[in-house]
Structures are given as C-alpha cells and as structure tokens.
Amino acid sequence: MAAILEDGKLRLTGYVGDYYFEDGFTSADVVMALAEIDDEADLAVHINSGGGIATEGAAIHALLSARPGKTDIVVEGIAASAASLIAMAGNTVTMSAGAIMMIHDPSGYTFGTSAEHSKTVETLEALATAYARVYAAKSGKSPEECRQIMKAEWWLTPERAVEEGFADKTTEAIADPVAAFDYRLYAHAPKRLVALAAKKDWRHGDANVPAASAAKPSQPRELPSMTDKERADQLAAELTELKVKAETNAKELAELRAEKEDRERQDAIMALPEAKGREAQAKTLAATKGITADAAKAILAAAPLAPGGEEEDDLATFEARRMNGEGLSASGAGRPRAKGDKSVLAEAVARANKRR
C-alpha cells in the first residue's frame, strides 16, 4: 500500500483505489493508518496522486473530514480527479511549488442495456453533485459554479488553485515528481504530463477505459425499464450505501484505536515498578477494563509484597511440604508458606537442637 504514516505525516501516493502501477491506496489503508494516531492530534497529509476511483476518493475525504484534530493537506506533485476531492478535507491546503491540482466530473463506463447505462448516468450525476458540494464548501463558490468547473476539467497551478479558493497557500518547497498515471486519459491534461505518461509507458489496463472510473463494468443482463420514481429510489439507496460505507470505516477506525489504547494501558500497568513482586495482581488489574495505570499503581503500592519479591506458591507447594512432614509440629503449620521463606529451615534446625 502507499498510505504511509511516519513522524506525524500521512503520505498518500499513487492510484486512489485498487492498485495500479504497483502503487496506490484505498480507504481501508487510510483507516489502518489513522488507527495509529490520536483522533485529536494534528495531522499533515501529503498527496501525490493522479486520481482513481471516485467512490474511494469520497470515502477517504469523509474519513479525514471526520477527524476532530486539525488536518492539513500538502499537495506534492499532483492531486487530480478523486485525489483533488481528498485534498478538500484539509483545514488548510498547501500547494508545493510546481504542483498541479485537477478538478473534473467523475467518469464511468457500462456494458449492457439502455437501462444499465441510465443507471450509470444517475450514479455519476449523484457523485458529481456530491463532489460539487465539497468543492463549493472549500472554495466559497456555489455548487453550480463548481459543477461547471468540473465539466470544463480545470488544471490549476499553485497560484491559480489559491486564487480560485481550492487551496490556501503555496510554498517554495519543490514538488515531488508526479505520481505514475496514464494522463492521456484526461481530456485536457497538460502536454508535459501526456508526454511523460507516454515516455514512461504508464497505462491503466485497457487504454480505452477511463482512469477515473466511478463504477465497475457490469455484466449484460435483461433489466426491466424503470420509472422516474424507481430511478430516484435506486439513486437514494446508492447514496445511502456510500454513507454507510463511510460510517463503517469510521467505526472500524474507532475500534482499532480502542484496541491500541487498551494494549498500551495494559503494557503501562505491567511496566510499573510497583508491579514487581506483585505480577499476578498486576495482570489481573491490566485485564480489567477501566482501570488506568495510575489507579493500578495506587492499588499495587498498597498491596503487600510477597516475601523474596515473588508471589506465593499457593496450596500446591504447601501440600508438597506437608507430605514431607515439614513444620508439622510448629505453630501455624496449617498455613502455606511463601516460596523462598526461610522460616521452614529455621524451624527444622531449632527442632534438631532441642533433640540433642
């Protein structure tokens, strides 16, 4: 995967969605990466992506937007198509010197009847409407204006991206080389990117398949014609499915974070100096959810330390001693002795001296 978290930075490079060019990242990769950091922590996300699957871009945008902590985006190289939508999740969006941002309508393809093609059109319209609202919220433009920009396929320099409101600032830091992508598939890609894709032989499977596809091809089958209401219902169901996917990702992220925090709590309890000589009790406290390291420290400090710094051997050791006749005539013979307790030996010596 190419969703790499290091030193408080999350780097998203390559294709958005299933991997191509042996480089890419998915919403699941982002969920796993976010599980490694605190929700409230500041996070810098560095993007270098030529685009990919529209629904994956929407899911990743939802994950980053939902973070309580500050999320800043840095565009390194390029943020095109679905990757530009991800960039809109930043509290601030910074364009590296020489970087590019591209905004356009999501695209897709269908095999099948006219009804299947109509369904794809409706899906793409729904995605485009959702994308336009995200771009509008960032830029201050209206959704209608953003939709026209998407249809025109805008390629923005750092300065133009700031001017249009899709970025907040530029930096003098030189952008990384653009991520591998078949830029020939875009309608108005800069000539240098088209030439670079041709030189590097970057291909997206079948050259006739749009790279920023929003839907996977469906198998031809007979479908009944749909009424306007049925199409609307179907579209609503698809939008709900996208929302559920984002919520599921957020839930998985929360669960992974909770597991990580509980492991850290248990490790902290077992590492307490007060746990030495009280290991069994420390393990019990660590296994009890809700007990913090500070609370465990107080409990362990108040507990008696086993003689010799070790826990008692319980009844099994005592039974072995009893069978050997150790301490049977001494007071307190009915109690098990602690491992390492020298009193048994002392009592045996005393009895031997008395018999002399």
Q: Diameter of the chain by CA atoms?
A: 111
Considering only residues 20 and 72, tell me which one the structure prediction assigns the higher pLDDT. Answer: 72
Instruction: Say whether pLDDT at 1 is over 60.
Output: no
Dist CA 152 CA 146 (whole Å): 10
Instruction: Say whether pLDDT at 10 is over 90.
Output: yes
Write the CATH number of the domain with boundaries 3-227: 3.90.226.10
Instruction: Say whether pLDDT at 28 is over 60.
Output: yes
Quick one: three-class SS letters along 177-223? CCCCCCHHHCCCCCHHHHHHHHHHCCCCCCCCCCCCECCCCCCCCCC
pLDDT digit string, tens, across residues 227-280 = 555 555 665 666 667 667 767 777 777 788 788 888 888 999 999 998 888 888
Please tell me the least confidently modeled range out of 15-19, 70-74, 85-89, 167-171. Answer: 15-19
Tell me what pLDDT residue 173 has: 73
**Banded model confidence at residue 308, pLDDT cuts 50, 70, 90:** low
Tell me what pLDDT residue 243 has: 66
8 Å CB contact between 81 and 45: no
Tell me what pLDDT residue 206 has: 40
Query: What tokens appear for 1 in the block?
Result: 């995967």
Instruction: Say whether pLDDT at 324 is over 60.
Output: no
Instruction: Say whether pLDDT at 294 is over 80.
Output: yes
Q: pTM (2 decimals)?
A: 0.56
H or E segment to which residue 139 belongs: helix 114-139
Instruction: Say whether pLDDT at 164 is over 80.
Output: yes
Dist CA 330 CA 345 (whole Å): 12
Q: What is the chain's alpha carbon radius of gyration, rounded to the nearest angstrom?
A: 32
Tell me what pLDDT residue 207 has: 36
Count other Cβ atoms within 10 Å, centred on residue 239. Answer: 15
Contacts of range 293-300, beta carbons closer than 8 Å, 24 or more positions apart? 293/265, 293/268, 293/269, 296/269, 296/272, 297/269, 297/272, 300/272, 300/274, 300/275
8 Å CB contact between 102 and 78: yes
User: Where in the sequence of the chain do the CATH 3.90.226.10 domains occur?
Assistant: 3-227
Dist CA 153 CA 128 (whole Å): 13
